[in-house]
Amino acid sequence: MISMYDLVKKILEETNGQICKHCLGRKLSHIVEGRDNINRGEKIFEDLDIQEPENCVVCGNIFDKINDDLFKKIYDKIDFLNVEFDRFLVGSRIDKQIKTCDDELSEKFDLDVEPIKKELNRIIGREIENTLEKEVEFEKQDIVINVDLRKEPKVRIQINPLFIEGKYNKLIRGIPQTKWPCGKCKGKGCEECNFTGKQYSESVEELLSEPILEATNGWQAKFHGAGREDIDVLMLGSGRPFVLEIKEPKIRKIDLDALEELNFLTREHGYATMKNMSDISNRMAFCYETKQRIAEKASEIISDGETIMVESGSSCALLVKYLSETKKDITVITNSSYIARFIRETEGGVTKVIVLGGEYQKEAEVMVGPLVKTCAEAFYVDKLFMGTDGYIPGIGFTSGDMLRAEAAKSMADSARNSIILTDSSKFSEHGVVMQCRLKDINMVFTDDQVPLEAKDAMEQNGIIVETVPR
Domain regions of the chain by residue span: 1-58, 62-158, 162-277, 288-468
Pick the CATH number of 288-468 from 3.40.50.1360, 1.20.200.10, 3.40.50.10090, 3.10.150.10: 3.40.50.1360
Q: List C-alpha distances in Å: 258 to 121, 264, 290.
A: 39, 9, 15
Beta bridge partners of 383: 417
How far is C-alpha 26 from the chain's CA centre?
Answer: 43
Is the pTM higher than 0.95?
no
Query: What architecture is the 162-277 domain classified under in CATH?
Result: 2-Layer Sandwich (3.30)
User: Domain 62-158 belongs to what topology?
Assistant: THUMP fold (3.30.2300)
CA distance 217 to 225: 22
**Annotated active-site positions, please?**
230
The residue-averaged pLDDT of 223-234 equals 82
In the predicted model, what is the mean pLDDT of the chain?
A: 87
Per-residue pLDDT band at 1 (split at 50, 70, 90): very low
- Its sign, for the CA torsion 431, 432, 433, 437, is positive
Tally of residues, the chain: 470
Residue 401, SS3 per DSSP: coil
Which segment of 26-35, 255-264, 319-328 scores lowest on mean pLDDT? Answer: 255-264
Whether the per-residue pLDDT at 450 is higher than 80: the answer is: yes
Which pLDDT belongs to residue 426?
A: 87
